[in-house]
Amino acid sequence: MTTRRTRLIAALDTRDPAEATRWANAVSSHVDAIKLGLEFAYAAGFETVTKVAQGRDLFLDLKLHDIPNTVGAAVGSLNRLSPAMLTIHASGGSAMVAAARQACDDSFPEGKRPLLLAVTVLTSLDDAALAETGVPGGARAQVLRLAELALRNGADGLVCSAHELTALRKEFGERPVFVTPGIRPRGADAGDQKRIMTPTEARQAGADWIVVGRPITKAADPAAAAAAIAAELIAP
């Protein structure tokens, strides 16, 4: 049993800066960070990312995946956005993860280095969909394999589903940061997510952070939805 506090990240997936700002203002007092990612950055631009994030911890989710030189340079270019967390794909390989880590160390001021998170197996993939990509053996084995690669090469933590947390904690202990999307309150629509768990289950399995998007942003009252999820994260 651990005394870890599981924190909540709201994924603000929209193309519209006004909507993102409205959601950020509504949920801010209930969440620990906001996530802006590919949809928002491509549509609204990076300077707008900074505007929406102002005064909040920013999880900048760009899921970088390219050759080491390109990923390192891209990570270095993101320092002006002062993210608290950044994502790369662990499947880019050891050298790519190491290049991202080096860029974090070299390009961000002391004390402002973002947490470098390696995405393992997307929560939208089940074992069959993963096998289609040439990876037999199931999501859990692949997450453990990529976790080892990423943590050995300088990632601070992983993005995975809550289903893998017990195995990951057993293998890698308490130090790495584990961030779990694919979170659905009981009865909520899974949408395109496959490896899902409830906020309570993710907390009990050992998540440091959970990421929740549509169950908050598509709710009639996003602030109330975020508050209800945050309440689930307070251990009884």
Ligand X SMILES: O=C(O)c1cc(=O)[nH]c(=O)n1[C@@H]1O[C@H](COP(=O)(O)O)[C@@H](O)[C@H]1O
Q: Which residues are catalytic?
A: 61, 63, 66
What is the total count of residues that contact ligand X (CB under 6 A)? 18
60 assigned to a ligand binding site: no
CB nearer ligand X, residue 1 or residue 220 = 220
Q: Shortest Cβ distance from residue 87 to ligand X (Å)?
A: 5
Decide: is 193 part of the binding site for ligand X (CB under 6 A). Answer: yes
**Half-sphere exposure (Cβ direction) of 228: Cα atoms closer than 13 Å:** 13
Confirm if 194 and 182 have CB atoms less than 8 A apart. Answer: yes
9 is in an annotated binding site: no
The distance of closest approach from Cβ of residue 26 to ligand X in the complex, given in angstroms and rounded to an integer, is 16
In order, the DSSP letters of 4-65 are: PPPEEEEE---S-HHHHHHHHHHHTTT-SEEEEEHHHHHHH-HHHHHHHHTTS-EEEEEEE-
Q: How far is the CB of 212 from ligand X (least distance, A)?
A: 5
Strand, helix or coil at 177? strand
- Which stretch in 119-127, 150-158, 166-174, 202-210 sits in contact with ligand X by CB under 6 A? 119-127
Looking at beta carbons only, is 109 or 157 nearer to ligand X? 157
The answer to whether 65 is annotated as binding is: yes
Q: Alpha-carbon distance 64 to 119, whole Å?
A: 9
> For tokens 């629509």, what's the residue?
189
Contact present, 87 and 119 (Cβ < 8 Å): yes
Positions 204 through 233 that interact with ligand X (CB under 6 A): 211-214
Tell me: is residue 35 an annotated ligand-binding position.
yes
Tokens 């909507």, residue?
19
Cβ of residue 126: shortest distance to ligand X, in angstroms?
Answer: 12
55 to 94: interface string for ligand X, x by CB under 6 A:
------x-x-----------------------x-------
- Inter-residue long-range contacts of 108-111, CB under 8 Å, 24+ positions, other chains counted: 108/79, 109/79
- Strand blocks (E) in the chain: 7-11, 33-37, 58-64, 85-89, 115-119, 157-159, 177-180, 209-212
Binding residues for substrate, by number, are 13, 35, 61-70, 123, 184, 193, 213-214
Please give the residue ranges that form the binding site for ligand X (CB under 6 A).
Answer: 11, 13, 37, 61, 63, 87, 119, 122-123, 159, 181-182, 191, 193, 211-214
Binding residues, by number, are 13, 35, 61-70, 123, 184, 193, 213-214
